[in-house]
């Protein structure tokens, strides 16, 4: 899209003004000095010209030169230009817009660079001084009182209004820019937060899949090796279960990694398996039993439907808790208790065997991952040694997540 020619020139002018402010101010002062000097030569046909015709030129020159300081001292500039112009009017020079040019420029910069209260005070003071001088000067006796008051008032109101509009426009643009910068910073922070959350979610998912199946496979292989000579039939059954464990691990890894790909990258591949839930607890129990851990599952209360995210979270917590029993405890049995109460599901996974010190303190990534999963859907989790011995993991999950999961737990 092409940029209009006028806009290109305006942009170049603004850029030049920012780079060379003194040159711009000097050109403005020279132009105003020419206007004011020409204004000192004007008079009404029936009025006598001022006796000192050079004094007005000097006064206007001083007023225009004072404008060079309008950026640093706008108030002082207004006072000087007003004093010079009022003096010229009292001396008999005709009050015209050309003679008022220095004051108008000073009032414009005052309204642009200062606050509204300052503009109001200095603006009213300047108008009163100029109007009073116009009313009592002899050079305007041939004009009515209305013209002598309304004229200066109108011409001095123009720069004040223009300056206020410029100041408001600058403030608006600064506010818009500040909001845009804040939105950009917020967007970047939110993106970083989402990336971090996604990395943690993927790490939890892969940890649960890999740790569980590898622990079961290790236990099954160890059991098979121990029974290979004495119980060959049971060894064969355990090896068959080991094949199923590794196959299940590959399927879940494929499902987890497949979600990280774009749609176009999985074209031609079959549909991904649905996310596991509590309905797959019998498979989990069977796999644990093949590794030598007897698991009992009990349910209290009326089972209620769970959202996909809560269902996956509940399954992963039970899976990880049983995996920890297999890896860190010497127990031969574990119990899983599902309690449906009100709008929450209470899950307790316990065992009676002694645990290793690091497992009892709950310092592993497994306990941390379980706790993060529970918190991500508005639940809570506690893990620690039981007073009567063994280890216990207890979690309370809402039936419907109170915190929206960005496809998180449902991956």
The length of the chain in residues reads 411
Confidence of residue 50 (pLDDT cuts 50, 70, 90): low
User: Under 8 Å CB-to-CB from 371, ≥6 apart: which residues?
Assistant: 381, 383
Confidence of residue 75 (pLDDT cuts 50, 70, 90): very high
More confident position, 244 or 131: 131
DSSP state of 276: P
Structure tokens at 53: 């015709």
Burial 195-206 (b: 16+ CB within 10 A, else e): eeeeeebbebbe
Structure tokens at 386: 């039981």
Confidence of residue 405 (pLDDT cuts 50, 70, 90): very low
Structure tokens at 219: 């236990």
Percent of the chain with pLDDT over 70: 81
d(CA 204, CA 318): 14
Q: Which own/partner pairs from 393-396 qualify as long-range (CB within 8 Å, at least 24 positions apart)?
A: 393/317, 393/321, 393/324, 393/347, 393/348, 393/349, 393/350, 393/367, 394/346, 394/347, 394/348, 395/314, 395/317, 395/346, 395/347, 395/370, 396/344, 396/345, 396/346, 396/347
Quick one: CA torsion of 76, 153, 112, 72, rounded to 10 degrees?
A: -10
d(CA 174, CA 162): 18
Of the candidates 381, 364, 363, 362, the one whose C-alpha atom is nearest the C-alpha of residue 372 is 381
d(CA 155, CA 216): 92
How confident is the prediction for the chain on average, in pLDDT? Answer: 80
Number of H helices, E strands in the chain: 12, 5
d(CA 121, CA 70): 17
pLDDT at residue 170 greater than cutoff 60: yes
Confidence of residue 410 (pLDDT cuts 50, 70, 90): very low
**Residues 67/29, Cβ–Cβ less than 8 Å:** yes
Q: Per residue in 8-37, pLDDT tens? A: 666 677 677 778 888 888 888 899 888 888
DSSP helix/strand/coil, 340: strand
pLDDT at residue 349 greater than cutoff 80: yes
Structure tokens at 257: 């990694």
Confidence of residue 131 (pLDDT cuts 50, 70, 90): very high
Overall average pLDDT of the 84-101 stretch: 90
Confidence of residue 269 (pLDDT cuts 50, 70, 90): very low
Q: Per residue in 182-233, pLDDT tens? A: 888 888 888 888 877 777 777 777 766 666 667 777 777 777 777 777 877 7
Angle between helices 308-328 and 145-227 (to 10 degrees): 40
Burial status of residue 77 (CB atoms within 10 A of its CB: 0-12, 13-18, 19 or more):
buried
Highest mean pLDDT among 200-204, 251-255, 390-394: 390-394
pLDDT at residue 406 greater than cutoff 50: no
Question: Distance between the two ends of the chain, CA-based, in angstroms?
Answer: 44
Give φ, ψ of 231 to 5 degrees: -135, 75
d(CA 205, CA 253): 9
**Residues 106/28, Cβ–Cβ less than 8 Å:** no
pLDDT at residue 266 greater than cutoff 70: no
Among the ranges given (237-241, 326-330, 373-377), the one the predictor scored with the smallest mean pLDDT: 326-330
The whole-model pTM stands at: 0.50
DSSP helix/strand/coil, 55: helix
d(CA 31, CA 35): 6
Structure tokens at 173: 């643009």
Among the ranges given (91-105, 155-169, 256-270), the one the predictor scored with the smallest mean pLDDT: 256-270
Cα Rg, the chain, nearest whole Å = 43
Angle between helices 21-40 and 5-19 (to 10 degrees): 100
Confidence of residue 396 (pLDDT cuts 50, 70, 90): very high
């Amino acid at each position: 899209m092409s940029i209009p020619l006028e806009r290109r020139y305006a942009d170049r002018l603004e850029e030049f003004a920012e780079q060379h402010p003194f040159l711009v101010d000097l050109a403005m002062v020279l132009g105003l000095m020419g206007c004011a000097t020409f204004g000192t030569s004007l008079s009404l046909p029936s009025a006598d010209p001022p006796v000192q015709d050079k004094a007005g030129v000097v006064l206007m020159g001083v007023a225009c030169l004072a404008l060079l300081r309008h950026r640093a001292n706008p108030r002082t500039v207004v006072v000087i230009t007003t004093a010079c112009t009022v003096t010229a009017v009292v001396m008999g020079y005709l009050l015209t817009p050309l003679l008022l040019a220095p004051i108008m420029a000073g009032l414009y910069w005052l309204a642009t660079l200062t606050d509204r209260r300052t503009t109001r005070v200095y603006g009213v003071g300047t108008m009163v001084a100029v109007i009073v001088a116009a009313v009592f000067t002899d050079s305007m006796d041939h004009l009515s009182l209305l013209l002598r008051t309304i004229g200066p008032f109108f011409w001095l109101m123009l720069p004040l209004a223009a300056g206020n509009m410029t100041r408001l426009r600058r403030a608006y643009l600064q506010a818009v820019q500040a909001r845009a910068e804040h939105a950009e910073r917020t967007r970047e922070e939110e993106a970083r937060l989402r990336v971090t959350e996604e990395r943690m979610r993927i790490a939890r998912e892969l940890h649960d899949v890999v740790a569980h199946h590898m622990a079961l496979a290790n236990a099954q292989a160890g059991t098979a090796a121990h029974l290979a000579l004495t119980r060959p039939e049971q060894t064969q059954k355990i090896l068959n279960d080991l094949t199923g464990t590794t196959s299940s691990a590959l399927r879940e890894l494929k499902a987890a990694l497949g979600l990280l790909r774009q749609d176009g990258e999985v074209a031609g591949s079959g549909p991904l398996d649905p996310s596991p839930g509590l309905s797959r607890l019998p498979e989990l129990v069977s796999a644990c039993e093949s590794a030598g851990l007897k698991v009992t599952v009990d349910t209290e209360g009326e089972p209620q439907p769970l959202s996909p995210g809560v269902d996956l979270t509940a399954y992963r917590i039970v899976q990880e808790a049983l995996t920890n029993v297999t890896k860190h405890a010497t127990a031969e049995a574990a119990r899983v208790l599902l309690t449906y109460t009100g709008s929450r599901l209470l899950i307790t996974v316990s065992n009676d065997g002694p645990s290793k010190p690091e497992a009892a303190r709950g310092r592993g990534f497994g306990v941390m991952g379980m706790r993060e999963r529970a918190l991500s859907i508005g639940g809570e989790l506690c893990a620690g040694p039981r007073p009567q011995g063994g280890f216990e993991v207890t979690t309370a999950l809402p039936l419907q997540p109170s915190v929206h999961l960005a496809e998180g737990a449902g991956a």
